[in-house]
Amino acid sequence: MTKFFIKTFGLSEKGAKDLVKASNWMAVINILIMLLNALAFWYLKDTVMPTLNGDSIKFKLGLYIGFSIFMFITMVISNYIQYNVTFVSAYEESATKRITLAEALREIPLSFFGKRDIADLTTTIMKDAQTLETVFSHFVPELFGSIISTVLIALSLFLFNVKIALAMFWVVPISFALCILTRKLQNSYAIKSKNIQLGYLDKMQECVENIKDIKANDREEAHFQVVKEKLVAYEKSSVLGELVTGICVVSAQMILKLGIGTTMVVGVYLLLNNDIDVLTFLVFLMVVTRVFEPLVGALMNLAAVYNSLISVDRMRVLENEEVQAGKMEMKNIGYDVEFKDVVFGYNEKETVLDGISFVAKQGEVTALVGPSGGGKSTAIKLAARFWDINKGSVKIGGEDISQVHPEELLKNISIVFQDVTLFDNSIMENIRVGRKTATDDEVVEVAKQARCHDFIMQLPNGYDTLIGENGSSLSGGERQRLSIARALLKDAPIILLDEATSSLDINNETQVQTAISNLIKNKTVMVIAHRMRTIAGADKIVLLKDGKIMQEGRHGDLIKSHGDYKDMVELQTESINWQLN
């Protein structure tokens, strides 16, 4: 049974064993309830039957009271154990599942996230895992507990009297068969409802994330009308899915209730033919009113389990996604970054980089320039192995990075992207992300070098100021300087800068560039920038256009070559001199 739970629900071995225990204890509770019915049987035997036969009543009140108290205490203890085993194990397994999913996401290449919506991933980690939490704590233990206890009771009753037991239990396989045979129908509506829900959540998230642009363009009504339509569609699909499941389950439950009627008819027939006595008939009548109660719930739980398997499949897809692996120790010699015949595309239909080759040497600044869409940011991301290339090789210090685990590789790289990511925490902790062991003094020092200190000290709580989600309380330039401070704190041998100073004014850009210049000695620096003043002093300039290297060299040499680089410099000069008339 443990292996069945592991295979079906994707549980850990401990979670599966705990689920088996919970199901067994639920079966014990159901059996104890039946034993209470047995107590009523013995009460009838000692009181009613002697009266019917004209005998004197030998009723032992103390025995029944004592047995009743014992049964009550046993049920309380059993319920307590079952509750703890069920709910504690369910919460622990839910936590384990979420951690497993998070670990899987950590190992998956970034190309995966370009294929999946954030709302979809969030639903998988949070809502799908929560669904399993409910299934493990309520549905599965009750389902299997009911099946186990019913099988044991049925075997006992068949030994007692085959005919009347058959009249009682013939409906059970038919009821469950109806639910099992309609599983595909139930799942089809459930999957459709889930997909519509994801569409609604995705659109809602899009509206929340872009609310500023929506309001700025007076598009609130149009966008929220789309959200409303998706919400209505989700509501209709949910109702329809519940209706289909309800019809299947209720039909099975109605068939199950026929067992009560057939038990009475067959029982009366056997009683009239003297095949059973009155007491046996009464026992079966009491049992039939109780034995179907957990089975009625079991049919509902079975439908819920079927629905939960959709969530299991969604999580299993995430867990089985191909990961970026590699060795946990680099044996590089130096930190030159070498691209050799690199071909890469985000999908099979496009080629972003088409056979590019260049070397960013240690101790030098290599600038990547060119028109938008030329592949500059892609090259930076490939150097950090955010994606794996299609052909060629990317090496650091002579070592192919495709053979190195991304976490080990990134220990050697500091990155500042154009799109800054900050956390809803204090400024101190946001900078300390660069190196978690850094002291407060070290954080303050890099903040000064990145020209952050002055604006930080003007905030209400200085370095302890909470900055909101993604630094929402800061300006774009302030956010970017914090990101630069974080990279400076990491002090890695390779620095990747993707438009790192694009949100800074001229004065702050100069100051930050001065700070960076003081820290790049003997380091490999790859920088993307469109401002010529930022890259004019680079040791090497690589011009990328349409995924190919069009020119390569120093600023002065490229200006003399009368190629695309010179045209870019002249166009930017014209742009700087442009003014409103």
Nearest to 369 by CA among 110, 550, 100: 550
- pLDDT on residue 193: 85
pLDDT band at 114; cut points 50, 70, 90:
low
Domains of the chain: 2-319 (1.20.1560.10), 327-411+520-576 (3.40.50.300), 413-491 (3.40.50.300)
Mean predicted lDDT score pLDDT of the chain: 81
pLDDT, position 358: 94
The more confidently predicted of residues 332 and 118 is 332
Quote the pLDDT of residue 330. 87
Report the DSSP beta bridge partners of residue 544: 549
Examine the pLDDT at 578 and tell me if it is beyond 80. no
Closest by Cα among 223, 218, 190, 188 to 204: 223
**Percentage of the chain lying above the pLDDT 90 cut:** 13
pLDDT at 45 over 70: no
What pLDDT score does 52 carry? 54
Query: What per-residue confidence (pLDDT) applies to 576?
Result: 61
Q: What does the pLDDT average to over 227-253? A: 87
Of 91-95, 326-330, 499-503, the least confident: 499-503
> What pLDDT was estimated at residue 55?
53
DSSP letter for each residue of 138-206: IIHHHHHHHHHHHHHHHHHHHHH-HHHHHHHHTHHHHHHHHHHHTHHHHHHHHHHHHHHHHHHHHHHHH
**pLDDT at residue 504, rounded to an integer:** 64
pLDDT for 429 equals: 92
What pLDDT is recorded for position 62? 65
As a whole number of angstroms, the distance between CA 71 and CA 77 comes to 10
On whether the CB atoms of residues 87 and 301 are closer than 8 A, the answer is no
The pLDDT of residue 346 is above 80: yes
pLDDT digits (tens, 9 = 90+) for 215-238: 878 788 887 888 888 888 888 888
User: What confidence score (pLDDT) does residue 66 get?
Assistant: 74
Q: Mean of the pLDDT values across residues 360-377?
A: 89
Q: Is the pLDDT of residue 91 over 60?
A: yes
CA 260 to chain centre: 46
Structure tokens that stand for 380 in this block: 């930076």
Q: In this predicted model, what pLDDT tens digit does every residue of 538-567 receive, in sequence order? A: 889 999 998 999 989 888 888 888 788 888
Number of residues assigned to the chain: 581
Q: Given a cut of 70, is residue 505 above it in pLDDT?
A: no
Indicate if the pLDDT at residue 494 is higher than 90.
yes
Q: How does residue 70 score in pLDDT terms, banded at 50, 70 and 90?
A: confident
Dist. CA 112–CA 117, nearest whole Å: 10
* 463-482: pLDDT as tens digits: 998 887 777 778 777 888 88
Q: How many helices (H) and strands (E) does the chain have?
A: 22, 10
- Sign (positive/negative) of CA torsion 322, 326, 328, 333? negative
> How many angstroms separate the CA atoms of 223 and 498, rounded?
33
Choose from 127-141, 315-329, 564-578 the range with maximum mean pLDDT: 315-329
What pLDDT does 37 receive? 63
> Residue 486: enclosing H or E segment and its boundaries?
helix 476-490
pLDDT at 96: 82
pLDDT at 343: 94
Q: Quick one: average pLDDT of 54-61? A: 55
Confidence check: pLDDT of 38 > 70: no
Per-residue confidence (pLDDT) for residue 491, from 0 to 100: 86
Give the pLDDT mean for 87-115: 79
Average pLDDT score over residue span 277-281: 75
pLDDT band at 274 (very low <50, low <70, confident <90, very high): confident
pLDDT in tens, 387-397: 889 999 999 99
pLDDT at residue 206, rounded to an integer: 77
Range with the lowest mean pLDDT among 7-21, 175-189, 477-491, 536-550?
Answer: 7-21
Q: What gap in Å lies between CA 464 and CA 466, rounded to an integer?
A: 6
Q: Centre a 10 Å sphere on the Cβ of residue 169 and count the other Cβ atoms it contains.
A: 22
| Portion of the chain with pLDDT greater than 70, in percent | 88
| Band of pLDDT at residue 401, cut at 50, 70 and 90 | very high
Q: Is 89 helix (H, G, I), strand (E, B) or coil?
A: helix
Higher pLDDT, 241 or 579: 241
Query: Which of 91-100, 264-273, 506-515: highest mean pLDDT?
Result: 264-273
At residue 508, the pLDDT reads 65
pLDDT at 398 over 70: yes
**pLDDT of residue 518 exceeding 70:** no
User: Mean of the pLDDT values across residues 371-389?
Assistant: 89
